[in-house]
Each structure stands twice: as structure tokens, then as C-alpha cells.
Amino acid sequence: MKLFPMVAACLLAGPVGVASAAERPPPGASSCAGCHAEGAAMGAIDGRPEAEIAAALAAYRSGTRPDSVMGRIAKGFSEAESQAIAAYLARQGQP
């Protein structure tokens, strides 16, 4: 029965409709939308290129891109965490 793999997948994934683990934002990423939006001075970041976001976070963290607020926040994330956040944000807002 062709449907069986889907049924089995649903059973394994838990209750119907509950979001899958793959959609989970990496640590810290869900906080970003508190400030970053279209039209705000902080600017929207959803859907921006991954490399651009990662480079910006690295520059804030090292202090080569001066910014009062993001400098303080970026220092709380490792390079790997920043990369994961960049990849996640880049995926948002994409069709």
C-alpha cells in the first residue's frame, strides 16, 4: 500500500499537524524578529543571503563593523551558531 510510508511517518512524527524538528530555528534565531522588520531602522533580515548575514554577525562580533546594539548581541554567539542563524534567516521569507 503506497500510503503506508506516509502513515508510518506521521505516527513516528507524533500528533498530526505538529511542526517537524527541521523547522526549528537554531538557538537565538527566533529573538531576531523582535527588532528586524521591513521599514524599521534595523532593517529586515528574513530572506537576506546567508553569506551576508553570517559576515555581518562576524563583523559585529569582532568589532570591525561598529554598532552599539548588535556588537553587544553578536558576542553572545559562536561562529557556528551565527552560521546556523544566518542559514535559518536566509530560508525565511523564501517561497
Partner 1 sequence: MNTTRRALLAAGASLALARPALAQAAPKVVVIGGGFGGATAARALHRGGLDVTLVEVNPTYVACPFSNEVIAGLQPMAAQRFGYEGLARAGIRVVHAAATGIDAGARRVTLADGTTFPYDRLVLSPGIDLRFDAIPGYDEAAAARMPHAWKAGEQTLLLARQIEAMPEGGTVVLAVPGNPYRCPPGPYERASLIAHVLKTRKPRAKLILLDAKDTFSKQRLFQSAWATLYPEQIEYVPLAEGGQVSAVEPDAMIVRTDFAEYKADVACIIPPQRAGRIAIVAGVADRSGWCPIDPVTFESRLVPGLHVIGDAAIAGAMPKSAFSANAQAKVCAAAVIDLLAGRAPETPKLINTCYSLVAPGYGISIAGVYHPAGGVLADVEGAGGISPVDAPRSLREQEALYAADWYRTITRQVFG
Residues lying near partner 1 in the complex (CB under 8 A) = 7, 10-11, 13-19, 21, 24-25, 27-28, 30-37, 39-42, 68-69, 72-77, 81
d(CA 45, CA 38): 8
Count CB neighbours of 89 within 10 A: 26
- Residue 30 vs 79, nearer CB to partner 1: 30
CB of 86 to partner 1, least distance (A): 15
> What do you get for the CA distance between the two ends of the chain, in Å?
32
Q: How far is the CB of 23 from partner 1 (least distance, A)?
A: 8
